[in-house]
């Protein structure tokens, strides 16, 4: 991983923890409220951010630090703990560390595919779905 990407992950870790800490002051009704045009509730959005970071780390390093989050509401403390555990691991996988060779399937695809192409396989690269559509009002989950 290059230095610029590592710096972005440092900032993302800091910002996500700040956001979670702020949201700890909200009551459950506020955390679970939804409104048209958003990606579910605040709790759902934070869960999505933390889950996605776990997945990105697995894509980049070939290792998974945590089991997927259980279905249902997740405590803010658990989300914060996952971010705190993952943050230092980006440092370990930072500049100078060789990325492992693709080791098979991670979330249904090879690491080579996740990196932008299935080199030498004759198959077109798979594209990671964009989350930008989640914020479009027509794509938001019903309240």
The DSSP letter of residue 105 is E
Q: Across 3-127, where does the E strand assignment appear?
A: 105-106, 109-110
Bridge partners (DSSP) of residue 109 are: 106
Check whether 131 is labelled as a binding-site residue: no
DSSP 40-63: S-HHHHHHHHHHHHHHHHHHHHS-
36 burial level (CB within 10 Å; 0-12, 13-18, 19+): exposed
Residue ranges of the annotated binding site are: 48
Question: What residues are designated binding site for a divalent metal cation?
Answer: 48
């Amino acid at each position: 991983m290059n230095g610029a990407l590592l710096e972005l992950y440092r900032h993302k870790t800091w910002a996500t923890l700040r956001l979670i800490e702020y949201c700890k002051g909200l009551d459950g009704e506020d955390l679970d409220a939804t409104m048209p045009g958003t990606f579910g509730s605040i709790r759902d959005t934070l869960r999505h951010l933390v889950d996605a970071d776990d997945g990105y780390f697995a894509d980049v390093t070939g290792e998974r630090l945590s089991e997927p989050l259980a279905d249902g509401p997740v405590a803010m403390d658990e989300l914060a703990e996952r971010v705190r555990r993952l943050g230092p691991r980006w440092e370990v996988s930072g500049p100078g560390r060789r990325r492992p060779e693709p080791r098979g399937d991670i979330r249904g695809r090879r690491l080579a595919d996740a990196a932008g192409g299935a080199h030498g396989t004759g198959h077109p690269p798979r594209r990671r779905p964009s989350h930008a559509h989640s914020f479009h009002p027509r794509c938001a989950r019903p309240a």
